[in-house]
Structure 1
Amino acid sequence: MRVIVEDTSNCPLPVIVAMQNIVSSNQCESHLPLPENISVVSIIALGDVEAVYLRDENTQATGLMLIPTQWLPDVVKRRSHNNSTLAWTVDSLIQLKIVGDAYPKMFSQGRTMRNSVSTERLRFDGQRVVEDETSKSILTVLRDDGRYHCVHQLTWMKGEGFVEVTSTFHNDSNEPLTLEMFSSFSLGGITPFACGDAAGRLVLHRLRSAWCAEGRLESRAIEEMQLECFHYPDTPTAERFGQVGSMPVRGWHPFIAIEDLEVGVTWAAQLACPGSWQLEAHRRDDCISISGGLADREFGHWLKRINPRARFTSPTAMLTVGASLDDACERFLQRQQRQEILPIEQSLPIIYNDWCTHWGKTSHANVVEMAEILMGEGIDIFVIDAGWSLGMGSWQENRAKFPDGLAVTAKKIRECGMVPGIWFEMECCEVTDGHTHENREHLLHRDSFPIQSGQRCFWDFRDPWVWNHLSEQMIDLLEECQFGYLKIDYNDSLGIGCDGTDSLGEGLREHLECVQKFIVRIRERLPNLVIELCSSGGHRLEPSMLQLANVASFSDAHETSDIPIIAANLHRVLLPRTSQIWSVLRSGDNAQRIVYSLAATFLGRMGLSGEIDQLDEWKRDILRFAIAFYHEASAVIAYGTSKRYGGPVLSYRNPVGWQAVVRQGAGAALVVGHAFAGDPPEIVELELPAGSWRIKKVFPQQMSSPELKGAALSAKFDGEWSAFAILLVQEEVESDVTLAG
Structure 2
Amino acid sequence: MQTYKYMLGKTQITYLVTDKGRTSFVMLPADEAGKLAVNWDSEPAAADAANEYNKEWKPGTLVHLHLRHHKRSLGNGSTMKYSESTDQLRFERQWEETQNSQTRIITVLASPENYKVIHTLTWTHGQTAIFCETEFVNESGRSMVLEMLSSFCLENLSPCQKDSDQTDKLALHRFRGSWALEGMHTAQNIEELGLQKAWCSPFPKSEKFGSIGSWTTQTYFPTAAVEDREHHLFWAAALEYNASWQMELSRDGDTLSFSGGIADEEKGAWSKTVRPGEHFCAPRAYVAVVKGDIYEACQSLTRLENIAADAYGEQGLPVIFNEYCASWGNPTQEKVLQFAQTIKGKGIRYLVIDAGWSKDSQEQLGNGEWLVDTKRFPDMKEMNRKLREDGFVPGIWLEFEVTTMGSRVYEKEYDPMHLKRNGVVIHNGPYRTYWDFTNSKVTDYLRAHVIDMLKEYDFGYLKVDYNGNIGMGCDCGESLGEGLRRQMQGVRDFFIRMKKEIPELIIENCASGGNRTEPSMLAVTAMTSFSDAHEAREIPYIAANLQNLVLPRQNQVWAVLRKDHTKERLEYGVAAGFLGRLCLSGDIEQLSEDQWQTISDGIKFYQGLEQILKNGVTRIFGKRSAYIRHPKGTQAAVRANDREILIVCHGFEDTDDEFSIPIEKGFQTAGRYGRDIFCVEDDRVIVKKMEEWTAGAVYLIKK
Q: TM-score, normalised by structure 1?
A: 0.90
Residue 337 of structure 1 corresponds to 306
CA distance in 1, matches of 2:624, 2:235: 22
CA distance in 2, matches of 1:604, 1:533: 14
Query: In the TM superposition, what is the alpha-carbon distance from 1:665 to its structure 2 partner?
Result: 3.3
* Structure 1 counterpart of 2:109, from 142, 146, 165: 142
Residue 712 of structure 1 corresponds to 684
Residues 295-444 of structure 1: pairs in structure 2 closer than 5 A: 295-323=263-291, 324-339=293-308, 341=310, 345-390=314-359, 391-404=366-379, 406-437=380-411, 438-444=413-419
CA distance in 2, matches of 1:353, 1:238: 44
CA distance in 1, matches of 2:618, 2:549: 12
Whether contact under 8 Å (1:639, 1:666) holds in the other structure is no
* Structure 1 counterpart of 2:654, from 678, 683, 701: 678
Residues 516-527 of structure 1: pairs in structure 2 closer than 5 A: 516-527=492-503
Whether contact under 8 Å (2:677, 2:689) holds in the other structure is no
CA distance in 2, matches of 1:77, 1:436: 64
* Secondary structure, aligned partner of 1:312: strand
* Structure 2 counterpart of 1:193, from 160, 176, 198: 160
Distance verdict in 2 for CA 1:412–1:723, change over 3 Å: same
Residue 37 of structure 2 corresponds to 76
CA distance in 2, matches of 1:210, 1:705: 33
CA distance in 1, matches of 2:100, 2:602: 44
Query: In the TM superposition, what is the alpha-carbon distance from 1:645 to its structure 2 partner?
Result: 0.4
CA distance in 2, matches of 1:695, 1:128: 50
Residue 529 of structure 2 corresponds to 553
Per-residue CA shift, 1:677-697, capped at 9, x if unaligned? 12432x332222x23122232
AA partner of residue 8 (structure 2): L
Residues 188-587 of structure 1: pairs in structure 2 closer than 5 A: 188-197=155-164, 198-323=166-291, 324-339=293-308, 341=310, 345-390=314-359, 391-404=366-379, 406-437=380-411, 438-454=413-429, 455-587=431-563
AA partner of residue 343 (structure 2): L
Whether contact under 8 Å (1:141, 1:149) holds in the other structure is yes
Q: Would you say 1:722 and 2:694 are equivalent positions?
A: yes
CA distance in 2, matches of 1:693, 1:585: 33
* Structure 2 counterpart of 1:622, from 591, 598, 609: 598
* Structure 1 counterpart of 2:138, from 162, 171, 195: 171
Query: In the TM superposition, what is the alpha-carbon distance from 1:649 to its structure 2 partner?
Result: 2.4
Whether contact under 8 Å (1:78, 1:196) holds in the other structure is no
CA distance in 2, matches of 1:340, 1:243: 24
Whether contact under 8 Å (1:230, 1:284) holds in the other structure is no
AA partner of residue 403 (structure 1): P
CA distance in 2, matches of 1:724, 1:104: 56
User: Which runs of 5 or more residues in structure 1 are unaligned?
Assistant: 1-38, 732-741
CA distance in 2, matches of 1:635, 1:119: 45
Query: In the TM superposition, what is the alpha-carbon distance from 1:729 to its structure 2 partner?
Result: 2.2
Residues paired across the two proteins, number: 685
Query: In the TM superposition, what is the alpha-carbon distance from 1:68 to its structure 2 partner?
Result: 1.4
Whether contact under 8 Å (1:423, 1:489) holds in the other structure is yes
Whether contact under 8 Å (1:462, 1:514) holds in the other structure is yes
CA distance in 2, matches of 1:634, 1:52: 38
Distance verdict in 2 for CA 1:275–1:231, change over 3 Å: same
CA distance in 1, matches of 2:106, 2:38: 28
Residue 121 of structure 2 corresponds to 154
Per-residue CA shift, 1:666-711, capped at 9, x if unaligned? 7332110001112432x332222x23122232212xx336322331
Query: In the TM superposition, what is the alpha-carbon distance from 1:717 to its structure 2 partner?
Result: 4.4
* Secondary structure, aligned partner of 2:369: coil
* Secondary structure, aligned partner of 1:380: strand
Per-residue CA shift, 1:236-255, capped at 9, x if unaligned? 12100011100111110111
Residue 80 of structure 2 corresponds to 113
Query: In the TM superposition, what is the alpha-carbon distance from 1:491 to its structure 2 partner?
Result: 0.9
Whether contact under 8 Å (1:636, 1:666) holds in the other structure is no
Residue 2 of structure 2 corresponds to 40
Report the aligned-residue RMSD. 1.7
Whether contact under 8 Å (1:229, 1:236) holds in the other structure is no
CA distance in 1, matches of 2:588, 2:187: 41
Whether contact under 8 Å (1:168, 1:311) holds in the other structure is yes
Q: Would you say 1:56 and 2:18 are equivalent positions?
A: yes
CA distance in 2, matches of 1:527, 1:125: 44
- After TM superposition, the runs of 4+ consecutive aligned structure 1 residues lying more than 4 A away are 79-85
Distance verdict in 2 for CA 1:363–1:204, change over 3 Å: same
Query: In the TM superposition, what is the alpha-carbon distance from 1:60 to its structure 2 partner?
Result: 4.0
Per-residue CA shift, 1:262-303, capped at 9, x if unaligned? 111111111101000000001122211101100000000001
Q: Quote the sequence identity (%).
A: 35
